Homo-oligomer: A and B are copies of this chain.
């Protein structure tokens, strides 16, 4: 189902990070659903989390642990979100981290827990107890692909991105994985995503670099407008190469920050391409705004409109719905006579009026593709913003009507 999404053929291991995935039987009976990620001592780690007030137990615990110390292990399960589970959920989450801490001989605070799956069901701690020793035996630097598959829920493909870059004469690697397909909306933290590099980066700089990257990637996607209770994105710098990123404004820092943003964008776009029921990948370019925030308002209205999304599903150039979404986006004093709208390269609205040389055939041609760009020019200033989303299909309804059955 995923739109133009393939698993990258080369995934570079990152020295200092080993991963394993095992079938713990947390919800699924026939697949891996538990991942352990080991981080070498001396690494730094930064993370952003969901802003959903009903955040999951592992989000609460991971946030606390991260304030306390630098993590040595990430413990990630799919199939159960451990959200909406109240005090019991917190106890269960702490219990799982204690099991891993005992088995790996570290402190509980050195473990960051993450969960994704059904909300409101108890976490089966015993399943963790049985599976964790096995997971520790299998840790491997080459474990990224298997781990990316194990954290999937309604995803149809694992999401991975990897690059190497030359910095100060040395080779540095960045590799990341993500999961997510539904309950996806931007402007908050993000989905589950884990990115590691073998560069050396202070925690404060890594944090700044991650937030920049997330703002230009995960926070610019939406599938259905629903922000998850469990979103988290983690960046790890293992310091296993001699390259030290100490300043994001110099040449080395900029190169690294750009590479991290690209990796995050690849993962974010992979989430949209594998959005629940997606048959189209839609890029929404808004330019000519007075500031970035009003560009986001317009992009947001178009990206969340169920009418726009069903028209894309039908490959129907029903541009009136795009125009209606722009019109209701809530910008004060929007002068429609300055607005141009394009479907791909085809102008559909020029100066607020239907474009003279537009015809249905031209629109139809753009809409038939799997990848489609909508461009809105507001004529109010120089700010711009790009968001990515997918269409709304029968399968989105089917997947979410049948999710728990």
Residues of chain A having any CB pair with chain B under 8 Å: 51-55, 81, 83-88, 118-120, 182-183, 185, 188, 224-229, 304-307, 310-311, 313-314, 316, 318-321, 323-329, 331, 334, 336, 349, 352-354, 392-394, 396-398, 400-405
Knowing A53-B336, A324-B226, the reply to whether A84 touches B319 (Cβ < 8 A) is yes
Please state the number of chain copies in the assembly. Answer: 2
Nearest B-chain residue to A348, judged by Cβ: B120
Knowing A118-B320, A403-B318, the reply to whether A55 touches B224 (Cβ < 8 A) is no
Residues of B within 8 A of A393 (CB): 397
Nearest B-chain residue to A354, judged by Cβ: B86
Measured in the bound complex, the distance between the Cα atoms of B144 and A336 in whole Å is: 36
| A354 in contact with B120 (CB, 8 Å) | yes
Measured in the bound complex, the distance between the Cα atoms of B301 and A188 in whole Å is: 15
Measured in the bound complex, the distance between the Cα atoms of B73 and A349 in whole Å is: 33
| A52 in contact with B396 (CB, 8 Å) | no
Taking A83-B324, A87-B353 as known contacts, 8 extra A-B pairs with beta carbons closer than 8 A to each other, sorted by chain A number, are: A84-B323, A84-B349, A120-B320, A183-B324, A229-B327, A306-B392, A314-B405, A318-B403
A342 to chain B, nearest CB (A): 15
Nearest B-chain residue to A51, judged by Cβ: B328
Knowing A120-B320, A320-B120, A353-B86, the reply to whether A306 touches B400 (Cβ < 8 A) is yes
| B401 in contact with A316 (CB, 8 Å) | yes
Knowing A53-B327, A327-B55, the reply to whether A225 touches B306 (Cβ < 8 A) is yes
A225 to chain B, nearest CB (A): 7
Knowing A86-B353, A394-B397, the reply to whether A54 touches B318 (Cβ < 8 A) is no
Measured in the bound complex, the distance between the Cα atoms of B127 and A125 in whole Å is: 71
Measured in the bound complex, the distance between the Cα atoms of B54 and A355 in whole Å is: 15
- Candidate in A83, A188, A321 with the most chain B CB atoms within 10 angstroms: A321
Knowing A84-B349, A397-B313, A403-B318, the reply to whether A327 touches B52 (Cβ < 8 A) is yes
Measured in the bound complex, the distance between the Cα atoms of B327 and A316 in whole Å is: 35
Knowing A84-B319, A226-B306, the reply to whether A324 touches B52 (Cβ < 8 A) is yes
Knowing A188-B328, A323-B84, A328-B188, the reply to whether A398 touches B403 (Cβ < 8 A) is no
Measured in the bound complex, the distance between the Cα atoms of B325 and A329 in whole Å is: 21
Measured in the bound complex, the distance between the Cα atoms of B400 and A120 in whole Å is: 33
